[in-house]
Amino acid sequence: MEFTGFPDDMKVVTVSGAQKGVGKTALAEILLKNLPGFAAIKITMTDLYTSVSEDDEDIMIPDTDTFRMKKSGAEKVVWVKATEKLLQDAMEQALGKISNHKGVLIEGNSILEYINPTLAFFVVNSSIDNMKPSRIRALKKADICVINQKNGSAFNDVMLEKIKSINPKIKILSFDFLSTDHKGNEDIKKLRMYLENVFDYQYDTALS
């Protein structure tokens, strides 16, 4: 069942990924620095309980994903911890806390089963093998696949063919998320163009 709780004028960006630790939050940081007026929702799937928090004592724990989102420019960050059964109910609560923002960035895979975002990113690094069903569904719905070349890791034609076999229409970009030198990077320029085409974009050094 599709989730329809977003305000009509709210832009929605999603960041999902092939595995844990692939760089979803690192990409979210880059995007949030360049999406003024956006809030952020971090989704963590659980087996037993559901909670929705905007409290600083939960959000602003140093080095956590929610802390990084807030420090990157999100006007508000909400942390949703939910079972699969209660994810849509938890999202309703979360959106009630950010309904006055112009847009929201959502980090998580499972939510893409229920929503059609304005712009969907999918993050990979060196492999897309052995992905969970929720991650395959997220890749199928993604507009842009971003390959994180962290530590200089390379990608190959076999992986690109696998990505295209799952989502033939997807656009593919590649760069090191943690690099401080993006000058002249053609894929960074393309990312900036995609943001310009969809959002009221403002330049930031993260994409300069």
Which one, of 195, 180, 162, lies nearest residue 18 by Cα?
162
User: Are the C-beta atoms of 140 and 122 separated by less than 8 Å?
Assistant: no
The per-residue pLDDT for range 129-169, each reduced to its tens digit, is: 889 999 999 999 999 999 998 765 566 788 899 999 999 99
pLDDT tens by residue, 38-97: 999 999 999 999 999 999 999 999 999 999 999 999 999 999 999 999 999 999 999 999
| Continuous segment of H or E residues that includes residue 21 | none
Which one-letter amino acid corresponds to residue 52? V
Task: Name the residue ranges covered by the structural domains of the chain.
Answer: 11-207
Tens digit of each residue's pLDDT (9 = 90 or more) over 21-36: 899 999 999 999 888 8
Distance CA 9, CA 168 (A): 29
SS3 category, 148: strand
- Contacts of 63 by beta carbon, 8 Å cutoff, 6+ apart: none
3-state secondary structure 132-153: CHHHHHHHHHCCEEEEECHHHC
Look at residue 103 and give its three-state secondary structure.
strand
pTM of the model: 0.91
Looking at residue 150, what is its pLDDT?
A: 72
Domain 11-207, CATH: 3.40.50.300
